[in-house]
Amino acid sequence: MEGNKKQRQKKTNNGKVVVERPRRSVRLQAKTPTQKQKSKEEDIEDIVKWGFSGDETQKIRESLLEWYDHNKRDLPWRYTNTAESEEEETKRAYGVWVSEVMLQQTRVQTVIQYYNRWMEKWPTLQHLSLASLEEVNEMWAGLGYYRRARFLLEGARMIVAKGSGFPKTVSALQKIQGIGDYTAGAIASIAFKEVVPVVDGNVIRVIARLRAISANPKESVTVKKLWKLAAQLVDPIRPGDFNQALMELGATVCTSLNPSCISCPASGHCRALSIFRHDSLVLVTDFPLKGVRVKQRQDFSAVCVVELLGGQRTSEGSQIDSREVLGGLEKIEGRQTNNRFLLVKRPDDGLLAGLWEFPSVLLDGEADLTTRREVIDHFLKNNFGLDTKQTCDIAFRKNVGEFVHIFSHIRLKIYVELLVLDLKGGGNHLSGIQDKATMTWKYVDGKALSSMGLTSSVRKVYTMVQELKQEKLSFSLTPSKKRSRTTRKKNNKSLN
């Protein structure tokens, strides 16, 4: 990166080497509220001052489009701008919509697989409008932020129900559920060639550097100005290609931490680069200003994978001590072909709305195993009548482990436990218990569970449980003589 020449290494007291980046002294001085307000106003003035000239605009358009034509990545949702039928145009709009929503979730490489699977299942808007929310959630599983998937479905149903075709302009698109300024701009310019800008994180970064804008891009007044600057630049003949070129430049060349100014088609018009060349203490990566990260909330959850034994009971009414790991698992594995897992549907509002998960309880904070078991037992008894003293026996119970799952605003620590139950009276149906359930639930076999679209955290829980079983089983299948030899060897090793 051209702008990072001035980094230098320094050894700390504990011997670690850290990279130190020089800063202008003005950045280290605390500002009074009046100074802050003043500097904010100056930042905004900067934006107005640094609008593009006509000549500059023309040159940036030409160089960016030429660069895009030779360097754009081959992605399944990209089409050429040739004349086409209305049906093709609508199909393209639908593809742009789906891809843009997915791209807001994750990296391009991951999106390609999701996009291809989605298009295979629902090749047109009409197909999607007939899907159920459950199917859509399953297809979306792993991408996160499931509200966006629901909006896609609701938006598709809305357009089909209106019967007047795919909306073609930004103003008409913004009336559709889940389509905001960014997605509307992308669909209108790429699919329908409306001359409108698109501003996402990549475009913000490129424009902020081209104009050396140091205002906070998270503030609405700055965002408005950036939209205006993007509108100035957009090419009137090839608006869709130009918008994609700007986004592509941000994603591949003008990256957040390591911009490759040397291969940038707009370097001749880049004010951040020009400043750096005159004052190497100012780096191109200083633009735009980095926003302060919102502190994540810390939550705790106890998740219990409840597996109901299928087939015949081997010892009616007996309870296996959870410490007798091998005995318990042998019993489970012997009957596991008909085993079922209890899944609970989350409420229709809030985090991961309407998605399936293993029974879980939010905790007040860190909790030991005994406390967690108490809350889980209470939850299972109250909601499903699963009472380990009356309606079922514990065939196997084991603490599996824990992990942290990160949502945008929450750091969720998840404690995982496996609880295998043998229902009294045999079978694996919760009949008679159903009345007690105050939530939507179902039980599925292992095969169905493996092929279901589960959220990444639910999938992780299931994988942890499977790994535990595998580990215990491979141990139990090892002949006892060999096991004791291996144990002796291990003990000897540790003594040496």
Integer angstrom CA distances of residue 274 from 2, 50, 58: 11, 14, 19
Tokens in use for 200?
A: 């996402």
Coil, helix or strand at residue 445: coil
Q: Using CB under 6 A, which of the segments 103-111, 167-175, 269-277, 290-298 binds ligand SF4?
A: 269-277
Does residue number 259 form part of the binding site for ligand SF4 (CB under 6 A)? yes
Q: CB–CB of 400/418 below 8 Å?
A: yes
Q: Name the residue nearer to ligand SF4 (CB basis): 6 or 485.
A: 6
Q: Is-contact 102 115, C-beta < 8 A?
A: yes
100 is a catalytic site residue: yes
* Subset of residues 187 to 206 that bind ligand SF4, contact rule: CB under 6 A: 206
Query: Using the rule CB under 6 A, is 272 a contact of ligand SF4?
Result: yes
Residue 4 or 383: the one with the smaller Cβ distance to ligand SF4 is 4
Choices 107-115, 225-233, 265-273, 474-482; region in contact with ligand SF4 by CB under 6 A = 265-273
Based on the shown chain and the rule CB under 6 A, indicate whether residue 254 belongs to the binding site for ligand SF4: yes
ω into 265 cis (within 30 of 0): no
How far apart are CB 81 and ligand SF4 at their closest, in Å? 25
Stretch that binds ligand SF4, among 28-36, 221-229, 257-265, 342-350 (CB under 6 A): 257-265
Cα distance between residue 121 and residue 127, in whole Å: 8
Q: How far is the CB of 241 from ligand SF4 (least distance, A)?
A: 18
Residue 295: helix, strand or coil by DSSP? coil
Token pair 């990166």: residue? 1
Q: Which is nearer to ligand SF4, 69 or 321 (CB)?
A: 69
Shortest CB 373 distance to ligand SF4, Å: 55
CB of 262 or CB of 439, closer to ligand SF4: 262
d(CA 393, CA 415): 22
User: How far apart (Å, rounded) are the C-alpha atoms in residues 203 and 211?
Assistant: 12
Q: How far is the CB of 52 from ligand SF4 (least distance, A)?
A: 13
Q: Which residue has the tokens 């489970």?
A: 332
* Residue among 266 and 416 whose Cβ is closer to ligand SF4: 266
Which of 179, 212, 233, 266 touches ligand SF4 by CB under 6 A? Answer: 266
Torsion of CA 484, 486, 488, 491, to 10 degrees: -130
Q: Which of 56, 62, 84, 100 is catalytic?
A: 100
Q: Which of 226, 284, 309, 343 binds ligand SF4 (CB under 6 A)?
A: 284
Q: E-strand spans in 127-273?
A: none
One-letter identity of residue 190: I
Nearer to ligand SF4, 210 or 421 (CB): 210
**How far apart are the C-alpha atoms of 71 and 265, rounded to whole Å?**
11
| Listed residue (410, 351, 399) closest to 373, CA to CA | 399
The correct pick among 253, 361, 414, 430 for binding ligand SF4 (CB under 6 A) is 253
Regarding 261 and contact with ligand SF4 (CB under 6 A), the answer is yes
Binding residue (CB under 6 A) for ligand SF4 from 93, 96, 156, 264: 264
By CB under 6 A, is residue 246 in contact with ligand SF4? Answer: no
Which range binds ligand SF4 by CB under 6 A, 78-86, 109-117, 263-271, 448-456?
Answer: 263-271
Q: How far is it, in rounded angstroms, from Cα 129 to Cα 464?
A: 36
Q: Hey, which residues does 413 pair with through a beta bridge?
A: 300, 404
3-state helix, strand, coil in the chain (%, to 5): 50, 15, 35
Decide if 199 contacts 165 (C-beta within 8 A). Answer: no
Among 170, 188, 210, 421, binds ligand SF4 (CB under 6 A): 210
- The two tokens of residue 153 are 């479905």
In the complex with ligand SF4, the residue whose CB is nearer, 278 or 447, is 278
Segment lying near ligand SF4 (by CB under 6 A), choices 113-121, 139-147, 228-236, 258-266: 258-266
Integer Cα distance of 232 and 474 in angstroms: 66
Query: What residue type is 365 in one-letter code?
Result: G
Kindly state the number of chain residues that form the binding site for ligand SF4, as judged by CB under 6 A: 14
Annotated active-site positions, please?
100
Residues that bind ligand SF4 (CB under 6 A): 206, 209-210, 253-254, 259, 261, 264, 266-267, 270, 272-273, 284
